[in-house]
């Protein structure tokens, strides 16, 4: 909480003190702010709220406080962009793509939990392109969902992942297994089990075109970039 809220407050104070303030201020928010759902997807004005089933109350509390501090900052000469970003898939070491790919290659790439939860994601290239796009458009301000237009069920994503990696077998991970793993990784199962069904409504309506709108083309590209 402090690392997000306090740093945002300090940035706002610094911008107010600039004789020549920056033209644009980007706030890297999170798509987890939206309510856990198996229903219609959330656009940029989707419903916000915690769900006991998703164990996401604290994450949403942090996200809301973070965005509130950003919105409250009085910087009239600076255009503000609040970027609610989904899971970014990139070929760089240490990212979520590498972790999931390793699971698939070890035969552990089955569904996680019941597999019904939606996964919102974006290819790292489209992430960078979207950031450039909102910076360069002087009319772009406020909230933007930074994610692919095609969120996908966890069970379907892992099936496609196995196909790309040519691993026909993928053992599933039950909720209790994920809870044990999350304990040792000092994280929360919400990261995997929450159903995030988010779409980039504003990006699409304002003309942004994705290079990788679908998960299969994304995974094929990243595999090729890894040189294998």
Domain that holds residue 15: 2-225
Q: What is the pLDDT of residue 221?
A: 97
Q: Decide: 193 and 115 in contact? Cβ < 8 Å.
A: no
Backbone angles phi, psi at 51, to 5 degrees: -135, 125
Q: Decide: 112 and 192 in contact? Cβ < 8 Å.
A: yes
- CATH number of the structural domain spanning residue 46: 3.40.50.720
Average pLDDT for consecutive 10-residue bins of the chain (228 residues)? 96 97 96 95 95 90 97 97 97 88 88 92 98 96 98 96 93 65 52 90 97 98 87
How many domains are there within the chain? 1
Kindly report whether the global pTM for this prediction surpasses the value 0.85. Answer: yes
Assign 3-class secondary structure to the chain.
CHHHHHHHHHHHHHHHCCCCCCCEEEEEEEHHHECCCCCCCECCCCCECCCHHHCCHHHHHHHHHHHHHHHHCCCCCCEEEEEEECEEECCCCCCHHHHHHHHHHCCCCCCECCCCCEECEEEHHHHHHHHHHHHHCCCCCEEEEECCCCCEEHHHHHHHHHHHHCCCCCCCECHHHHHHHHHHCCCCCHHHHCCCCECCHHHHHCCCCCCCCCHHHHHHHHHHHCCC
Q: What is the pLDDT of residue 173?
A: 76
Q: Decide: 216 and 158 in contact? Cβ < 8 Å.
A: no
């Amino acid at each position: 909480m402090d690392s997000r809220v306090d740093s945002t407050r300090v940035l706002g104070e610094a911008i107010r003190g600039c004789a020549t303030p920056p033209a644009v201020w980007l706030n890297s928010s999170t798509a987890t702010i939206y309510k856990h759902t198996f229903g219609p997807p959330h656009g940029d004005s989707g419903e916000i709220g915690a769900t006991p089933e998703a164990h996401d109350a604290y994450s949403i509390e942090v996200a809301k406080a973070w965005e509130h501090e950003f919105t409250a900052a009085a910087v009239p000469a600076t255009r503000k962009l609040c970027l609610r970003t989904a899971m970014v898939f990139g070929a760089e070491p240490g990212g979520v793509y590498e972790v999931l790919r390793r699971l698939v290659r070890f035969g552990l790439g089955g569904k996680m939990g019941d597999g019904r939860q939606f996964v919102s994601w974006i290819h790292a290239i489209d992430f960078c392109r979207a950031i450039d796009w909102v910076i360069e458009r002087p009319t772009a301000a406020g909230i933007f969902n930074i994610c692919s237009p095609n969120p996908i069920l966890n069970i379907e994503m892992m099936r496609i992942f196995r196909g790309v990696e040519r691993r026909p077998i993928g053992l599933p991970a039950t909720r209790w297994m994920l809870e044990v793993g999350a304990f040792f990784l000092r994280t929360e199962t919400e990261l995997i089990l929450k159903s995030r069904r988010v779409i980039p409504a504003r990006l699409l309506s304002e003309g942004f075109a994705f290079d990788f709108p679908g998960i299969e083309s994304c995974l094929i590209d990243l595999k090729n970039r890894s040189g294998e």
